[in-house]
Structure formats: C-alpha cells, structure tokens
C-alpha cells in the first residue's frame, strides 16, 4: 500500500518520461516528493495517480495551464464542477475547429497529389498549388 517508487518506476508506470516528470515538478504540476538518503525522489501511489491524470489530459491535448486548473479542482471534490465542464467544452470547440481545418487541408493535399503529373517540376501540381493561392480550395484557414 505504502510502496515507494523511483522516478524510473514512475516513468514506466505512467508512461511519462523521466525528464518530463522532473519538468512537471519544476513547473509545479507535480509536488516535489520526499527524497531518499541518497537524494533520490521517492514517489507514492498518489503521485502515480496524479501523473496518470496529467498524462491522460496531455494525450487529450489539454494545455498545461488547463491541467493545472483541473488538478486543483480534483484536489477539492466539494467544488462545483462547472469549471471543469467549461474547460472540457472549450477544448471540445478547439478540437472541432481543428478537425474542420485539417479536413479542408486533407482535401487540398489530395488534390495536390492526385493532380501530380509525375513529370517535371515545371508542370507539377504540388508546386503549382503552393505557388498560387488562387488555385486553392482551402482558404478557410486556421491553425493545423
């Protein structure tokens, strides 16, 4: 129950790399754990849970600052969850926009590679479309 874990164990368990764990500690996302006599970090089960939470949230594309807020919410379960809900909703909107933008982009790239004459650059559709924004369907921009 009160097992302790080295930073390497924690990395293996959580899937977060060792330097990244230290980085999370540095920016205050993960509390500094106690140290062994030799000065090594000694994590407990709670730290592993927190790391897993962070990792999962990062996988889902949440920014560090959003995760910081979510972790604070998690630490106080009596709070109303409106804030967490808002963060998730916000992120959902971002993700939807990103999908729309990438889908338009995919169409453009498909047009490019399908139109490629496999000849010389002078007649290459890829280069041509890149050179001439007018020939492009994309237009509906947004970060990819």
Q: Which residues bind DNA (CB under 7 A)?
A: 6-9, 11, 17-20, 22-23, 36-41, 58, 63-65
Nearest distance in Å: CB 26, its own copies: 22
3-state secondary structure of 43: strand
What gap in Å lies between CA 85 and CA 90, rounded to an integer?
Answer: 9
What gap in Å lies between CA 83 and CA 143, rounded to an integer?
Answer: 26
Quick one: tokens of 8? 């390497």
Residue 125: HSE in the Cβ half-sphere, 13 Å Cα cutoff: 12
CB nearer its own copies, residue 4 or residue 88: 88
Which stretch in 1-9, 27-35, 38-46, 134-142 sits in contact with its own copies by CB under 8 A? Answer: 134-142
What gap in Å lies between CA 40 and CA 71, rounded to an integer?
Answer: 25
Nearest distance in Å: CB 108, DNA: 18
Nearest distance in Å: CB 54, DNA: 8
CB nearer its own copies, residue 34 or residue 62: 62
- Whether 140 and 101 have beta carbons less than 8 Å apart is answered as yes
Binding site for its own copies (CB under 8 A): 49, 52-53, 55-57, 59-61, 70, 73-74, 76-82, 84-85, 87-89, 91-92, 95-96, 98-99, 102-103, 105-106, 108-110, 112-113, 116-124, 126-127, 130-131, 133, 136, 138, 141, 144
């Amino acid at each position: 129950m009160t097992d302790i874990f080295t930073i390497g164990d924690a990395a293996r368990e959580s899937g977060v790399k060792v330097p990244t764990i230290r980085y999370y500690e540095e920016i205050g996302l993960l509390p500094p754990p106690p140290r062994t006599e030799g000065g090594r970090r000694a994590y407990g089960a709670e730290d592993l849970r927190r790391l897993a939470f962070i990792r999962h949230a990062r996988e889902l594309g949440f920014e560090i600052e959003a995760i910081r807020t979510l972790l604070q919410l998690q630490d106080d379960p009596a709070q109303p969850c409106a804030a967490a809900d808002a963060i998730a909703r916000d992120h959902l909107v971002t993700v939807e926009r990103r999908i729309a933008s990438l889908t338009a982009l995919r169409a453009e790239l498909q047009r490019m590679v399908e139109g490629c004459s496999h000849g010389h650059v002078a007649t290459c559709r890829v280069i041509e479309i890149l050179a001439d924004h007018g020939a492009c369907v994309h237009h509906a921009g947004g970060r990819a």
